[in-house]
Amino acid sequence: MAHMARSALAVVSSHASDPVTAVDEVVRAIGGMALAGGLLFCSHRYDRDELAGELARRLGDFPLIGCTSAGELTQRGYDEDSLVFIGFPADGFAMSVLHFDDLDGFDVAEGRRAVRELAAQAAASARRLGEQLHHAAIFLVDGLSHREELVTMTVQDALGETVMVGGSSGDGMVFRETGVLVDGRFVKDAAVVAMLSSTRPLHAFCSHHYRPREERMVVTSADAQARVVFEINARPAAQEYARIAGLVGGEIDAAFFAANPPMVRAGGEYHIRAVQSANPDGSLTFYCAIDNGIVLRVGERVDRLAHLERLFSEVETRVGEIDHVIGFDCVLNRVDADNRQITREVSQLYAARHVVGFNTYGEQFRAAHNNQTLSGLAIGA
């Protein structure tokens, strides 16, 4: 049974496993509302061709983008085996879309030109809403493309002062193939940018709940293209990482990575460079860019629930009453919540603050590709 939030945004979730039934529940819930555009985030378990076809057939009269996930954020908070739809009412929003295929062959100059053209078109189409408008860009990218950094920097550079926020598509914890929804189909090795304009306040943010410890981890051998680190401090990477993090006799797995994320200092602040997997040869595969000479420190948690309460209070000072927050929450945040047995509390907090979205393989904010953050776009009521 679908559930629709009582707010100006059309927010609908469904747990129907059959794509036809799930899309029908979305369509019935939004009724005849005129929409300027929409987002859809879904479990990787759906048949993508069938779901995309049904979405195009039933919701093909406005721009719709989305992706597969490593978990969904619905009105329940953390969710799974579901889909969530977010629709932007036409009387308060305008949405224009651009997508890039074949990220392996991504051309920076052409990408920059295309984004600037998108921004100009979006500004023209949004004039119907009036003069006092707020703008933001939503970005979705294949979480297994290894091109997130380049495309993110290019898009944000072309956008200028318009802030971009988004997430990398997921595949549960399988790491085999993700899908980005654009033009009525799920595609891999792709990215999509949506320019969103509104009469409502919009505020993009990015935050994490970790602080660095003292001991340094210097990457001394790495394959930057593959995002694999072979040595840290001239020792086998996984072994040295575990030693500095204080692991004694435990397993180097997703729960360990989530609890002890490597952090790097850039621009005067510490950012997380999350580990995806420990490999049989003792190396580590990362979710984001990594290279020789980078200095890392192991992160330690602060009180996540208190941190989230402060974060959303700060967001409210920017937009007033929150209609919804489109959330891009790293899958490792979810793993850590499960491991610490605070999933229920985090879910309740997300539900109370109207956070909807998905668990990512990475988050984008401005020109940076990040890990283990909660990034989002808050929309005022």
pLDDT for res 2: 60
Residue 295 has pLDDT above 80, yes or no: yes
pLDDT in tens, 308-331: 999 999 999 999 999 999 999 999
- Across residues 99-115, what is the average pLDDT? 97
Residue 5 has pLDDT above 50, yes or no: no
pLDDT digits (tens, 9 = 90+) for 149-194: 999 999 999 999 999 999 999 999 999 999 999 999 999 999 999 9
For the cut 70, the answer to whether the pLDDT of residue 286 exceeds it is yes
CA distance 308 to 82: 24
Per residue in 185-238, pLDDT (tens digit) is 999 999 999 999 999 999 999 999 999 999 999 999 999 999 999 999 999 999
- In this predicted structure, what is the pLDDT of residue 357? 98
Handedness of CA 210, 211, 213, 216 (dihedral sign): positive
7 has pLDDT over 50: no
Q: What percent of the chain has pLDDT over 70?
A: 98
Residue 146 CB coordination number (10 Å): 18
3 has a pLDDT exceeding 70: no
Report pLDDT for 249.
79
Check pLDDT > 50 for residue 263. Answer: yes
Residues 6+ apart with CB under 8 A from 368: 152, 206, 271
Q: How confident is the model at residue 60 (pLDDT cuts 50, 70, 90)?
A: confident
How many C-beta neighbours within 10 Å does residue 268 have? 5
> For residues 204 and 164, what is the distance between their CA atoms, to the nearest angstrom?
8
Average pLDDT over residues 95-101: 98
Query: How far is the C-alpha of 166 from the C-alpha of 175, rounded, in Å?
Result: 19
Task: Collapse the DSSP code of 20 into the 3-class scheme (helix H, G, I; strand E, B; otherwise coil) and give the result.
Answer: helix
CA angle 325, 326, 331 (to 5 degrees): 115
Give residue 248's pLDDT.
83
